Amino acid sequence: MKNILIINSGSSSLKFQLIQMPSEAVLASGMVERIGLDNAMLHFKAGNNKISEQLEAKDHAVSLKAITDHLMSSEKGVIKNREEIAAVGHRVVHGGNAFSKTILIDSQVKQQIREYFSLAPLHNPANLKGIEVAEELFPDSRQIAVFDTSFHTSIPRKAAQYAIPNELYEENHIQLYGFHGTSHKYVTKKAIDQLQKENSKIISIHLGNGCSMTAIKDGKSLDHSLGFAPVNGLIMGTRSGDIDQSVIFYLIDELGYTSQEVSDLLHKKSGMYGLTGYSDLRDIEEQAENGDKQCQLALEMNAYRIKKYIGAYAAAMNGVDALVFTAGIGENSDVIRKMVCSDMDFFGIKINEEKNKIRSKKSREIQAEDSKVKIFVIPTNEELEIAQQTFELIS
């Protein structure tokens, strides 16, 4: 048995699980959410011990150190010393063309992750920080990187290449890479098990602070809503999603923005935050229910964009067997799921509103009896997927 600590550093959160492999027993789990905000919270669970406490988490380093302290606590911890951690598995968002599989981290790997900062500015810096802090805290543990982009290497060139001069693809590797691959891969395997058919057409809808959709045919990624960097596609917490490129030129040429200011605008000040002043969908739904017109519009825009991608991917695969909602919003927001799946009769998509309202941490089906398409809510477990890949590499 080997203890593997999984670190999933998101743009505003840090999730972790300590998993004993190969039994897949979860010894401890939790997260720090709303990192960088005044109301950051640490949630820690080990056995019957559950803790939720406010934390002054200005960054990911503080968050990981707090988690480590809890893991080794004499009262509520599950390990006595750092040496009990055989490996630390890290989620890394952008691996570009450099990494197509899980890999042992060394200085060269870290440098390559750093070189992709500009392509994933909200994630790769946080991912690298998690790696560097983990190296300090667990110097005797092997550090392993699992890349979000690797699941999408099966996307064909006709979908991955942009209609710009060929040399930019061939020499500069400008193309669609895709993200959230660890999550999409995990829930796809679960969906295929539930469908009981290998030859399947699945649209995986990952909705969190970052959002993406994947067209998955026969278990392989066929197309994906995020591209060269994780900012296009769906409307996200602070990211714009799809936008006319001309807007960027207008911001620079006519309004005097610098390229860095445009990048900050599209990555950190747009999306649901730019539309409403809130980046957390729970706040937006609450305000919308209280009559806030702008929050209501933002929800409508969010759902409309998802619907457009469902239509596109159904066309790309010549059909769809199942929709999968996953990640924080996908798993918990019955409001978004209902808005997305309403008025989709042409595709044979019909939601059961009562089933949709049920809260559960288990996988479930929420389609109506006469729906031709299955609608799954499958809690993602990127940490377990990372643990499986990490264990396979070090064994």
Residue 253 among the catalytic residues: no
Rounded to an integer, what is the distance from CA 169 to the centroid of its chain?
26
Tokens standing for residue 312: 């596109």
Question: Which residue among 59, 69, 106, 148 is the active-site one?
Answer: 148
On whether 311 is known to bind a ligand per the annotation, the reply is no
Structure tokens at 89: 């598995």
State the amino acid at position 241 in one-letter form: G
Contact of 214 with 337, CB cutoff 8 Å: no
CA dist 382 and 325 (Å) reads 14
What the block records as the tokens of 293 is 């017109």
Is 264 annotated as a binding-site member? Answer: no
- Residue 267 annotated as binding site: no
**Has 10 been labeled as part of a binding site?**
no
Does 5 appear as a known binding residue? no
Residue 331, annotated as binding a ligand? yes
Per the annotation, does 292 bind a ligand? no
Give the C-alpha separation, 95 to 153, whole Å. 11
Q: Does the annotation flag 208 for ligand binding?
A: yes
Q: Residue 207, annotated ligand binder?
A: yes
Say if CB 11 and CB 28 are below 8 A apart. Answer: no
Please check if 114 is assigned to a binding site.
no
Tell whether residue 224 is among the known ligand binding residues. no
Cα–Cα distances (Å) from 117 to 92, 111, 231, 325, in that order, read: 11, 10, 13, 29
For 34, the token pair is: 């709303």
Give the burial class of 10: count Cβ atoms within 10 A of its Cβ; 0-12 exposed, 13-18 middle, 19 or more buried: buried
**Tokens read off for 143:** 């550090």
Which residues define the annotated binding site for Mg(2+)?
A: 8, 382
Which residues define the annotated binding site for substrate?
A: 91
Which residues define the annotated binding site?
A: 8, 15, 91, 206-210, 280-282, 328-332, 382
Which residues define the annotated binding site for ATP?
A: 15, 206-210, 280-282, 328-332
Q: Which residues belong to the active site?
A: 148
